[in-house]
Structure 1
Amino acid sequence: MTLLTLPVVLDMSGVQLSDAQFYQLCLNNPDVPLERDARGALIVMAPVGGNSGSYELELGADLTNWNRRTRLGTVFSSSTLFRLPNGGDRSPDAAWIEQSRWLALSLEDRQKFPPIAPDFVMELRSLTDSLELLRAKMQEYMDSGVRLGWLFNPQAQQVEIYRPGMPPEVRSLPTELSGESVLPGFLLAVEPFEEA
């Protein structure tokens, strides 16, 4: 028996799921985390291991603590799927949207898959993640209007910083990250990850 390696990308050429159909597909399969890229391919995501889950929560907690102090926006967990303007449906490991942009959405849009690109996204590469697919996902975020993104790569002890219209900046760990003008006053000291 061959073990399935995740994530799995399903080519949906010739099959066009509407936003409502994709939403229903996700509701009908709550134990199968799905994403959809801008071309419409379905992506079956893998669950993360203990180290990755812990790192993801710690990094998201730092973002949440900053937001609780500043009250400038809304923070989202990795369970939130965003309908991006370019057609993709993506779930960052953590995301943030400036408050006036979030409140401009209808209550119905906020309750479903929000049709908005976050201002900030964070992704953490787990052992099951393809770096190539994660980099493509980060570029998809930038193409959709995300203003700042961080891709943490524990295997290389690096973080890649994504900004619109610029090549990613790669930093070795340890480093300090700034939220720049997107997350004013947010500084994150990142130590090397235990796993390589």
Structure 2
Amino acid sequence: MVRESTRLSAQDWARAALRAIADGGLAAVAVEPLARTLGVTKGSFYAHYRNRDELVAAALEEWVRSHGSPALAGHAAIADPARRLRELLTVVVQAVQPLAPSVHLSLLGDRTDPRVEDAVGRVNRARLELLTRTYRELGLPPERAASRARVAYAAILGLLHLAQTDPDAPSPEALADEATALFLPEPPTG
């Protein structure tokens, strides 16, 4: 059954494009298959976008909005850095679903595309800045805080990769506890 084109928003199309990107990278973003998936005609697409490139750009902006600085604002507002780090790690680990595709990891296959390079760079910078700030507030010196942030972020991306390939991964709760224990620095003694 085909739905009326006015019922879908540009954001609906962008989110559908993100699901396609997660499953198969930028090459998976094609108007006709997305229209079939959404249960609409191609006319719905053209009511919002002039071409596929506009849809790709909108999808990448939606991803940056939902995974970069705007999405991190609530976590950034947590005053206690230990609680902030614990919640950041817990949210990331709980979002990792076994065998679930990841937009971030799929975009890495298209990393030479300037649009992808920009979007991934913006999300990476936002996440690394918040992690670095958190480690600074936990008492680590600037260089060590930046280094610890990179290692923690690399582990987060690694968890995403494992979730795509390991159906026997531990529960999100167990992973969150382990990640928190691993990446929360010991309080200074003295």
More strand by share: 1
Same-fold status (TM-score > 0.5):
no
Q: Please say which structure displays the higher CA radius of gyration.
A: 2
TM-score (norm 1): 0.27
TM-score (norm 2): 0.27
